[in-house]
Amino acid sequence: MALLDGKRVAFLLTDGFEDSELTAPWEAARNAGAEAHLVSPASGTVTGEHGYTQAVDASTRATSADDFDALVLPGGVGNADALRLDAEAVRLAHEFFAQHKPVAVICHGAWILADADVLSGRTLTSYPSLKTDLVNAGATWVDEQVVVDQGLVSSRTPDDLPAFTARMIEEIAEGPHSGQTA
């Protein structure tokens, strides 16, 4: 039996994502036994910054955190900026915190968490240019390869993917965290 057998993991993104920040965590989740699902405000397929395309499995409008065990938020400037402007994507991100479910976020993916109003009192990392936005949303920002705070896993850049995916798998396997709150 694999570590994540029976777990359903939502990957929330749209066009402009950082390709490796989708593909590496997706592969890690699937290799650990999870079902991975791409959720997006876009329909059909989404395209990454470097041309990787993948089919969308479900729309943000038709999806709830009730449908999944964990959430992964890849980065990419265009992706992150578009998601934070999409009310359904913000609602969905907020729901995962409200239900105490693990959330893994890398690079610019953390931007949506400021809009979802889930960062007060939390510690995380991100791409350095997000520091001010995340601090203004109530977070403590640190410059570390990977940070885990009560089910919230965060990393800075694609260089951190090996550490990020390992901790992501660990937190998803642990399941809900009472400290993961909205």
Say what the pLDDT of residue 181 is. Answer: 87
Say what the pLDDT of residue 1 is. Answer: 63
Say what the pLDDT of residue 157 is. Answer: 98
Extract the residue ranges of the chain whose pLDDT is less than 70.
Answer: 1
Say what the pLDDT of residue 182 is. Answer: 86
Q: Which residues does 36 contact at the CB level (< 8 Å), separation at least 6?
A: 9, 11, 26, 29, 30
By the 8 A CB rule, do 84 and 101 touch? Answer: no
Q: In this predicted model, what pLDDT tens digit does every residue of 82-134 receive, in sequence order?
A: 999 999 999 999 999 999 999 999 999 999 999 999 999 999 999 999 999 99
Burial of 89: CB neighbours in 10 Å, binned 0-12, 13-18, 19+: buried
User: What is the residue whose two structure tokens read 């953390």?
Assistant: 110
Residues annotated as catalytic are: 108
Give the CATH number of domain 8-174; options: 2.60.120.1310, 3.30.70.2860, 3.40.50.880, 3.40.50.300: 3.40.50.880
Q: Domain map of the chain by residue range?
A: 8-174
DSSP per residue over 56-100, as a string? Answer: --EESTT--GGG-SEEEE---HHHHHHHHT-HHHHHHHHHHHHTT
Angle between helices 87-98 and 77-84 (to 10 degrees): 90
